[in-house]
Amino acid sequence: AGFTLQPSEFAKFGLILWSAYHLRNLDLFKDTKKSLFFLIPGFIIIELLIILQKDLGTALLVFLIFTGILFAAGAPIKFFIGSFIPLALVGSALVFSSTYRMDRFAALLDPFDDRYYKFTGWQPAHSIMGLASGGLWGSGLGASKQKWANLAEAHTDFIFSVIGEELGLLGSLLVLCLYAALIYAIIRVALKTKDDFSRYVSAAIACWFIAQIAVNIGSATSLVPVIGVTLPFISYGGSSLLANLIAVGYVLGVARRTPEIAEGIKANRVRKLS
């Protein structure tokens, strides 16, 4: 049996490395135009390739990651303000170019509305039902009802809904706390490392996870349209999991190469052994 890879998952990390490499040798404050001249073309090429595959979820994540690494590198606020209008126009054009996408946005207001319930509102509506039926403690592992018939992508896009139904509010909060701890650790590594390249990459990885978690959970709770984004380390998908593990592995490598962090890890090990 063979296997398949989703190149767009690895494109996220590739864009981060490529951007960090150029940003290390550029000064966004002194010459913003020259810096962006090197960065924007590569970003646009990746975005176009992903959009041509009609994967708007990944395209959105790539945009948020790119924005995050520019922010971490010290891009002036006026750049983000100036970019907002053209990007908003492009995003609006993509949405209004498809009736299906427009219906997905409309279903956000009320997925239970008869106009959308049996179509674009079906999965968001049943995702909310699953989360609501979980209560405080949940129905128990494997006891979810929504995942068997009503959530076609229960193992990927709507895995958080299954977690909420089976483990309840407390289980959902535990998952969020674990994510918060991971992101906090990555940000600490980014702040403590003295190497610009490592700092940019680590900060961008933190932005990547924040964006992906927010979009996935937002889809499950009908706060954002369903755009097919996995929940890191939990959703089914080998390419997504492998890309996430590579990213975390890089951050661990940075931590081991940072004297302050490495000494703290070593001291913690000594305390445990003594």
Greater model confidence, 205 or 86 = 205
For residue 180, count other CB atoms closer than 10 A to its CB: 12
**Model pTM above 0.95:** no
178-to-172, 182, 206, 210 alpha-carbon distances in Å: 10, 6, 14, 12
| Coil vs helix vs strand at 195 | coil
- Provide mean pLDDT across the span 122-129: 89
Number of H helices, E strands in the chain: 11, 0
d(CA 50, CA 57) in angstroms, rounded, equals 9
Per residue in 69-117, pLDDT (tens digit) is 888 888 778 778 877 788 788 878 877 887 877 888 888 888 888 888 8
For residue 241, pLDDT over 70 is answered with: yes
For residue 269, pLDDT over 70 is answered with: yes
- Provide mean pLDDT across the span 53-60: 85
In 25-144, which ranges are continuous DSSP H helix?
A: 32-52, 56-72, 77-96, 99-109, 122-134
For residue 155, pLDDT over 90 is answered with: no
For the chain, give the percent of residues with pLDDT over 70: 94
Greater model confidence, 130 or 101 = 130
Per residue in 18-32, pLDDT (tens digit) is 999 888 877 655 666
For residue 168, count other CB atoms closer than 10 A to its CB: 20
Q: What is the pLDDT of residue 3?
A: 67
d(CA 263, CA 184) in angstroms, rounded, equals 19
d(CA 215, CA 218) in angstroms, rounded, equals 5
Q: What is the pLDDT of residue 33?
A: 66
Residue ranges of domains in the chain = 7-260
d(CA 81, CA 84) in angstroms, rounded, equals 5
Q: What is the pLDDT of residue 199?
A: 94
For residue 164, pLDDT over 90 is answered with: yes
